[in-house]
Amino acid sequence: MGKETEEAARARIIDTVRALLESDGYDAVQLREVARRARVSLTTIYKIFPTRDELIVSALEAWMEHHTYVPMETPPPGETLRDGLIRVTQHVFEPWERHPIMLEAYHRARTGPAAVRLDNHGLDAVLPIAAAVLAGADPQYLEDIAAVLSNMTFSLLGQCADGTMRVAQVLPILERAIIRLTANNEPDATQALERRESRTAATAELRPEIAAPFRRITN
């Protein structure tokens, strides 16, 4: 049997790290254990992956390619921008719901030097999926929606990673945000103004029913 190629060794190492992440999480990825399970030397690992961060990020990218960024159906005739955005969000996020331990690993890896790489990897994969859904929309409108949803997503994932929110709560929140972002909110805003101005200054304090939604989001 000939000498193993670097490509074959890399694939086996990545598979080993993916398995460790899925079964035991981010902290379980220790290089000596990876070497033992993958049947390679530490020298081989360091030759292919200069750092532990590089190794984990490469394994996460491979997992995401297989689970999160699989092909998606083109929009059906008449699909609204709201329904299309919700469909894309569900398509991308549902695998994370099924594998919350990988979501935690992704969040922890993203707080390190690989943040830009992981973000770009995600964008490169999602943009082709979303292109047909978003075709024809005003670029500035899309930029605003993307800014709101991306910042919301990373904030929510952070709360999942630190245990203050369950993964299953994230997708419903993002769906409600999409509905608000793509709806005409002027009637609700007008009613809020009318109700506020009908109250006296003494009753205009932040009441519990107003404060509660903000606490649910931030806590």
Structural domains in the chain (count): 2
pLDDT tens-place string over residues 42-101: 999 999 999 999 999 999 999 988 887 777 777 788 888 899 889 888 888 888 888 989
Q: Is 196 part of any domain?
A: no
Collapsed DSSP state (helix, strand, coil) of residue 1:
coil
Q: Is 136 part of any domain?
A: yes
pLDDT tens-place string over residues 159-207: 887 788 888 898 999 999 999 999 988 888 888 888 877 765 445 555 5
CA distance 45 to 31: 8
Q: What percent of the chain has pLDDT over 70?
A: 84
49 and 139 fall within a common domain:
no
27 and 78 fall within a common domain:
no
83 and 44 fall within a common domain:
no
The pTM of the full predicted model, rounded to 2 decimals, is 0.72
Domain range for 48:
6-56
- What are the b/e assignments for 45-57, b being 16+ CB within 10 Å? beebbeebeebbb
pLDDT tens-place string over residues 104-150: 898 888 877 777 777 776 666 666 667 777 777 788 888 888 888 88
CA distance 49 to 40: 13
118 and 182 fall within a common domain:
yes
pLDDT of residue 25 exceeding 90, the answer is: yes
Q: What is the CATH number of the domain that holds 34?
A: 1.10.10.60
19 and 77 fall within a common domain:
no
Q: Is 108 part of any domain?
A: yes
Q: Is 216 part of any domain?
A: no
pLDDT of residue 28 exceeding 70, the answer is: yes
CA distance 111 to 94: 22
Q: Is 100 part of any domain?
A: yes
78 and 164 fall within a common domain:
yes
